[in-house]
Amino acid sequence: MNYYTLLSLVLTLVQIWPCAPSMQKQSTKNTDQFFTTVRRVKRGWMWEPLFATEEQTPTPRLYVGQLKSDLDKQDGNLQYVLTGEGAGSIFTIDEYDGKIYVIQKLDREKKPFYTLRAQAINRNTHLPVEPESEFIIKVRDVNDHEPQFLDGPYVATIPEMSPEGTSVTQVTATDGDDPSYGNSARLLYSLIQGQPYFSVEPKTGVIRMSSQMDRETKEQYLVIIQAKDMVGQAGAFSATATVTINLSDINDNAPKFQQRLYYMSVSEEAPVGTTIGKVMAEDSDIGENAAMNYFIEGDSADVFDIITNNETQEGIVLLKKRVDYESKRRYSVRAKVVNRYIDERFLEDGPFEDTTIVKINVEDADEPPVFTSENYVMEIAEGAVSGSLVGVVTARDPDNDDSPVRYSIVRGTYLKRLFSINEHNGTITTTKPLDREIAAWHNITVTATETRNPEKISEANVYIQVLNVNDHAPEFPKYYETFVCENTFSGQLIQNISAVDQDDSIEGHHFSFSLAQEATNNSHFTVKDNQDNTAGIFTAKNGFSRQEQLSFYLPILILDNGTPPLTSTNTLTITVCDCDIQVNIFFCRYGAFMYSMGLSTEALVAVLACVLILLVCRSLARPESLRQAAYSLGLKNEHSIFM
């Protein structure tokens, strides 16, 4: 007995069994166990891959495929059942032969496949003859979507004169169709507008340069790219994108002057820095590539300058040095313009510069007189008589008519009382003798005025140096208070002296000291010249007596080294003091005073003693005051008071 016969027998027995429900349940359970035990190890469904084409309209249904169990004897005993996604609503199955149909239009882009389950049931036993099986119905794509440029419109920039083949940009289109099935989503790119300057790679959408282009000719291009699906076959869809391509500037053009010759003029009165005129060069480039600098070439660069107006790119011609109509009336200036930033790639085409000529005429103006010098230095000896010549100033009218000039000294200064000027010839003379010791220099201002146009006035400074004349004899610089002790000995230095001279000496002063002629036989004192502009006074005997002579008057002759040399006699007063050898200025000064009043030595001592007592009493409370009092009396310390 084979398996098919046994299985049919069991199913028949189950269907005709007239027993209670409990027994039927038990029988069904046993039957399922039996089916599980006796089913074949390897059975299965038989079908081909199932596909349903999208966008097809079922009228009323479209065949998809057929499911078939290998147990199906095509005798109508098996019933096919379909469950899962879209079962009954989108897909149906013929329960007798297992054919599947689609009853609704499908859209692959919304749902690309459906997962369903199939089951084969014995119509008599209502039992499955196959395990439930899962299968997939794929929705087959059709070309129902147009390509789209999602990133458009496109804008790209590329430098002008870029070489052929340079990549500009890339455009990309998308297609909603299935890229893995057929050619619906396979795109090809083509150029609709933009030849012959650009090209596009068919498969990648990369736009490239097809030729070199000059921005100065045209700086913007509108390129239209088409994307077509189905690899361009019949029934294909297409879309276009617009690409705006701008050419950026490079410095490939040299500046050019608008004119080959410019004419300008400037007044000879114009101050330095005056704007004379403007020149203009044009550059087809833009931005910093059009920036330029202007220069003046040749000798004229000392007289004129040119600067760049960075906003207008004009060259502004300026006066660098004052011009003179009478000296030079016309200038031919060579101006040059050069690009500020130069692209070395284009230097082979020639220098990025240009030149032009600027003709500048100097306009005549009524100018004030011009002195032969801005500053005059003159000399005159001091003491020269009134009317002595100091010097001459000269000025002339620089204009062609050469107007006469009138001279004068600026008023409002005391110097006008010392000097006068001839208004016709500019001769300066003194009005009184000058003293160098009062003022060694005099500064005056002289004006020159055109007689035909008094408004044209010029000034010059005159510095007058008063030259020294040895007109002052040397003398003592101060009064010397000289004392000699009664008990002194011969050869003792009692005084150092020096001299001064109001005159100015180029080589420096040098004084000589000696006794005057009338004192050459003096046996009391001698003079020793130290050869350093000082001298020493020495005693020439031992001891002096106040009773015999209180004071001596010693005439000293001082000689300078001027031309001619001058001498003076200066008297040195020497007072005899009641002392041994060391001179005490205080005692000597007051002693001489008292002695001259006729007081004796005893009286002088008594007076001094009273003074000292008063000082001591006053200073007991303040020792510092005592010390100061002692010093004021010429004592070494306060203890000397009682010695």
Residue 273, C-beta contacts closer than 8 angstroms, at least 6 positions apart: 318, 319
pLDDT digits (tens, 9 = 90+) for 281-326: 999 888 888 899 999 999 999 999 999 999 999 999 999 999 988 8
Reported as a pLDDT band with limits 50, 70 and 90, residue 423 is very high
Three-class DSSP category at 589: helix
**Residue 33 confidence (pLDDT) above 50:** no
- Beta strand residue intervals within 490-633, DSSP E: 493-498, 512-515, 525-529, 534-539, 551-559, 567-577
Confirm whether 154-248 and 482-581 share one CATH topology: yes
Residue 261 vs residue 345, higher pLDDT: 261
What fold characterizes domain 256-363? Answer: Immunoglobulin-like (2.60.40)
pLDDT digits (tens, 9 = 90+) for 234-267: 778 889 999 999 999 888 888 999 999 999 999 9
Residue ranges per structural domain of the chain: 45-140, 154-248, 256-363, 370-467, 482-581, 600-643
**Residue 334 confidence (pLDDT) above 70:** yes
Tell me which residue of 40, 17, 14, 47 sits closest to 29, measured CA to CA. Answer: 14
**Residue 635 confidence (pLDDT) above 50:** no
Task: Give 262's strand partners.
Answer: 358
Task: Give 573's strand partners.
Answer: 553
Task: In whole angstroms, give the CA distance from residue 302 to residue 196.
Answer: 55
Task: In whole angstroms, give the CA distance from residue 503 to residue 531.
Answer: 20
**Residue 444 confidence (pLDDT) above 50:** yes
Residue 5 vs residue 270, higher pLDDT: 270
Three-class DSSP category at 517: helix
**Residue 366 confidence (pLDDT) above 60:** yes
Question: Looking at residues 205-213, what average pLDDT do you find?
Answer: 92
Question: Looking at residues 500-514, what average pLDDT do you find?
Answer: 82
**Quick one: which H or E segment has residue 16?**
helix 3-16
Question: Looking at residues 14-27, what average pLDDT do you find?
Answer: 37
The predicted structure's pLDDT at residue 637: 40
Phi-psi region of 244 (alpha: psi -120 to 50; beta: other; left: phi over 0): beta
- The domain covering 45-140 belongs, at the CATH homologous superfamily level, to Cadherins (2.60.40.60)
pLDDT digits (tens, 9 = 90+) for 546-576: 888 999 999 999 888 877 888 888 999 999 9
**Residue 527 confidence (pLDDT) above 70:** yes
Which of 441-450, 495-504, 627-636 has the highest average model confidence (pLDDT)? 441-450
Residue 62 vs residue 12, higher pLDDT: 62
What fold characterizes domain 482-581? Answer: Immunoglobulin-like (2.60.40)
CB 443 within 8 A of CB 410: no
The predicted structure's pLDDT at residue 297: 93
Three-class DSSP category at 90: coil
Percent of the chain's residues with pLDDT above 90: 40
Tell me which residue of 495, 515, 499, 516 sits closest to 561, measured CA to CA. Answer: 499
Task: In whole angstroms, give the CA distance from residue 166 to residue 208.
Answer: 5
Task: In whole angstroms, give the CA distance from residue 259 to residue 275.
Answer: 19
CB 268 within 8 A of CB 363: yes
Provide the angle, in degrees to the nearest 10, between the axes of the packed helices 21-38 and 3-16: 170
Architecture of domain 370-467: Sandwich (2.60)
Residue 458 vs residue 561, higher pLDDT: 458
Task: In whole angstroms, give the CA distance from residue 473 to residue 309.
Answer: 73
CB 513 within 8 A of CB 497: yes
Task: In whole angstroms, give the CA distance from residue 427 to residue 389.
Answer: 7
Task: In whole angstroms, give the CA distance from residue 580 to residue 615.
Answer: 26
The predicted structure's pLDDT at residue 341: 85
The predicted structure's pLDDT at residue 47: 63
Reported as a pLDDT band with limits 50, 70 and 90, residue 32 is very low
Mean pLDDT, the chain, whole residue set: 82
Dihedral sign (CA 273, 276, 282, 286): positive
The predicted structure's pLDDT at residue 643: 30
Architecture of domain 154-248: Sandwich (2.60)
Reported as a pLDDT band with limits 50, 70 and 90, residue 274 is very high
pLDDT digits (tens, 9 = 90+) for 63-116: 888 888 888 788 888 888 999 898 888 899 988 888 899 988 888 778 889 999
